[in-house]
Amino acid sequence: MSLLLQMTGPVMDLTYNVRAIPASGAEAEVTGFAMVVGGGFNAMAAAHAAGMAVRLGGSIGTGPLAGIVAERLKELGIDCARPAVAGHDQGVAPYCWNRMENAALLDIPVLKDRSRPRTWRRSSCQMSLM
What are the pLDDT digits (tens) for 73-90? 999 999 999 999 999 899
> How many whole angstroms separate alpha carbon 42 and alpha carbon 48?
10
Of the pLDDT bands very low, low, confident and very high (cuts 50, 70, 90), residue 128 is very low
**Residues pairing with 96 in the sheet:** 16, 104
CA–CA dist 22, 15 (Å, integer): 14
Query: What's 29's domain CATH number?
Result: 3.40.1190.20
What per-residue confidence (pLDDT) applies to 27? Answer: 82
Residue 8 lies in a domain: yes
Q: What is the dihedral of CA 94, 69, 58, 14, to 10 degrees?
A: 0
> Residue 37 pairs with which residues in a beta bridge?
12
When divided into structural domains, the chain yields a total of 1
Residue 120 has pLDDT above 70, yes or no: no
Determine the structural domain holding residue 35 and report its residue range: 3-109
- pLDDT score of 107: 54
Global confidence as pTM: 0.73
Q: Is residue 126 part of a domain?
A: no
Give the residue-averaged pLDDT of 47-60: 94
Q: Identify the residue with better confidence: 99 or 106.
A: 99
Length of the chain: 130
Q: Say whether pLDDT at 112 is over 70.
A: no
For residues 25-32, average pLDDT: 83
Higher pLDDT, 122 or 6: 6
- Which of 41-62 are b and which e, b meaning 16 or more Cβ less than 10 Å from the residue's Cβ? beebbebbeeeeebebebbbbe
The verdict on residue 22 lying in a domain is yes
Q: Considering the domain boundaries, does residue 35 fall inside one?
A: yes
* Residue 115 located in a structural domain: no
The model's confidence at residue 43, banded by pLDDT at 50, 70 and 90, is: very high
